[in-house]
């Protein structure tokens, strides 16, 4: 029995030894392969870092407003008698826009004019009699006072009638009427908007640190959502005399030519305020930047090891950079690289520091 057990144990040990020897050979072979393994060389494209003259600008947002624009409303109440112009029509300064019913005022005017005529006649008669000393000075003063009161009544009624006729305070374009003929409107009712948009203002604010670089006549570029990438131009017309204490921003107004009526008041504007002088900046394609929460970086192409045939391989060095303004497909780099460096501009996602690369022709 003991002999049989020993034979079984011995056989198992031999089998285990054979298996162990086999796996040892596999592990040793795997280590050898890893030692000889070289990662595949990445093929990339590269560009030489350029230095260009960029005109500095401040980015902000603003709103377009009409040179002259109001919401037309009535000063006195009444029933609308007529609206001579339809919605959207162009009107000239002084044209009648709204006529309110003024029958009561017209009747009052006739009465006051009659009273004024009578008071005038009595005043002329009393004036003659006073010169002849036929009436007292008190009677003459009373006649003069009655004439003044009567004439004031006429003027007051004429003013009330004038308020029933609303005229265009300036030339412009009407909006959509909020009322109709026959409507009773209380005083202060919004009737229609009137906008002179032949020239527009674009109002915006910039941080107070930009104040020394602001000046009247400064160039402004802006875009509006309705026209996509189209760029509109204007010039600074006025700079606010006071810094806003709440935001520490300063308000700026620019003048914009809108003779073709392309733009409308109330539009949102994405603005670039251009500084006076251009500056030399280092720029690269935005595709050359590897963005990360730990910092933005780029890969600079450098010479690697020299081969036996005399050829020199290429490798990349990862450098962290500080980015500046972005314009189109390019971005300014304020630190980390210099003009003349060769940087990878396509394929940065597959690179790591000191990785070997092949620079492909574009």
Strand arrangement, sheet containing 50-54: 50-54, 279-285, 330-335, 322-327
Rounded Cα distance, 270 and 331, in Å: 19
Helix-then-strand count for the chain, H and E: 3, 21
Strands 312-320 and 90-91: unpaired
**pTM, full prediction:** 0.62
Which homologous superfamily does the CATH classification assign to the domain defined by 102-163? Helix hairpin bin (1.10.287.470)
Rounded Cα distance, 192 and 178, in Å: 6
Asked whether residue 33 carries a pLDDT value surpassing 60, the answer given is: no
The CATH number for 42-54+279-359, chosen from 2.40.128.20, 3.90.226.10, 3.60.20.40, 2.40.420.20, is 2.40.420.20
Rounded Cα distance, 358 and 152, in Å: 97
User: Domain locations in the chain?
Assistant: 1-37, 42-54+279-359, 58-66+192-274, 102-163
Read off the tokens for 64.
């377009």
Structure-token match 């674009």, residue found: 202
Q: What is the pLDDT of residue 35?
A: 47
pLDDT in tens, 74-130: 999 999 999 999 999 999 999 999 999 988 888 988 988 898 898 888 888 888 887
Model confidence at 351, in pLDDT bands (50, 70, 90)?
A: confident
Rounded Cα distance, 28 and 87, in Å: 90
Neighbours of 157 (CB within 10 A): 21
Asked whether residue 169 carries a pLDDT value surpassing 80, the answer given is: yes
Model confidence at 4, in pLDDT bands (50, 70, 90)?
A: low
Rounded Cα distance, 313 and 302, in Å: 9
Model confidence at 7, in pLDDT bands (50, 70, 90)?
A: low
State the chain's mean pLDDT as an integer. Answer: 85
88-90-95 Cα angle (round to 5): 120
> Which H or E run includes 64?
strand 57-73
Contacts of 43 (CB under 8 A, 6+ apart): 347, 357, 358, 360
Rounded Cα distance, 299 and 49, in Å: 12
Side-chain half-sphere exposure of 320, counting CA atoms within 13 A: 5
Contacts of 287 (CB under 8 A, 6+ apart): 329, 345, 346, 348
Rounded Cα distance, 97 and 274, in Å: 42
CATH code at 58-66+192-274: 2.40.30.170
Cβ-contact 182, 206 below 8 angstroms: no
Decide: helix, strand or coil at residue 177.
Answer: coil
């Amino acid at each position: 029995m003991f002999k049989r057990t020993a034979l079984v144990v011995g056989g198992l040990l031999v089998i285990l030894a054979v298996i162990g020897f086999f796996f040892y050979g596999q592990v040793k072979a795997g280590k050898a392969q890893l030692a000889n393994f070289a990662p595949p060389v990445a093929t990339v494209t590269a560009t030489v870092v350029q230095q260009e003259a960029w005109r500095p600008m401040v980015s902000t947002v603003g709103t377009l407003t009409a040179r002259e624009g109001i919401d037309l409303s009535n000063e006195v109440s009444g029933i609308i008698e007529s609206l001579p112009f339809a919605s959207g029509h162009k009107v000239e300064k002084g044209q009648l826009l709204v006529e309110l019913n003024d029958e009561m005022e017209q009747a009052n005017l006739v009465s006051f004019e009659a009273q004024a005529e009578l008071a005038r006649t009595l005043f002329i008669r009393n004036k003659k009699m006073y010169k002849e000393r036929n009436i007292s000075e008190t009677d003459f003063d009373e006649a003069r006072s009655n004439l003044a009161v009567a004439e004031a009544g006429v003027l007051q009624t004429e003013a009330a009638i004038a308020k029933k006729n609303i005229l265009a305070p300036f030339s412009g374009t009407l909006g959509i009427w909020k009322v109709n003929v026959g409507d009773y409107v209380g005083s202060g009712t919004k009737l229609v908007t009137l906008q002179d948009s032949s020239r527009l203002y674009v109002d915006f604010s910039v941080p107070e640190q930009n104040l020394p670089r602001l000046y009247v006549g400064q160039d402004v570029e802006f875009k509006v959502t309705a026209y996509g990438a189209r760029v509109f131009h204007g010039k600074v017309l006025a700079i606010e005399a006071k810094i806003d204490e709440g935001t520490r921003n300063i308000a700026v107004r620019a003048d914009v030519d809108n003779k073709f009526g392309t733009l409308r008041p109330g539009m949102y504007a994405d603005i670039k305020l251009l500084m006076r002088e251009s500056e030399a900046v280092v720029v690269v394609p935005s595709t050359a930047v590897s963005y990360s929460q730990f910092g933005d970086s780029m890969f600079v192409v450098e010479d690697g090891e020299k081969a036996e045939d005399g050829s020199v391989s290429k490798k990349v060095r990862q450098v962290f950079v500080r980015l500046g303004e972005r314009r189109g497909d390019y971005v300014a780099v304020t630190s980390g690289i210099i003009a003349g460096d060769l940087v990878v501009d396509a394929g940065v996602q597959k690179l790591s520091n000191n990785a070997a690369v092949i620079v492909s022709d574009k």
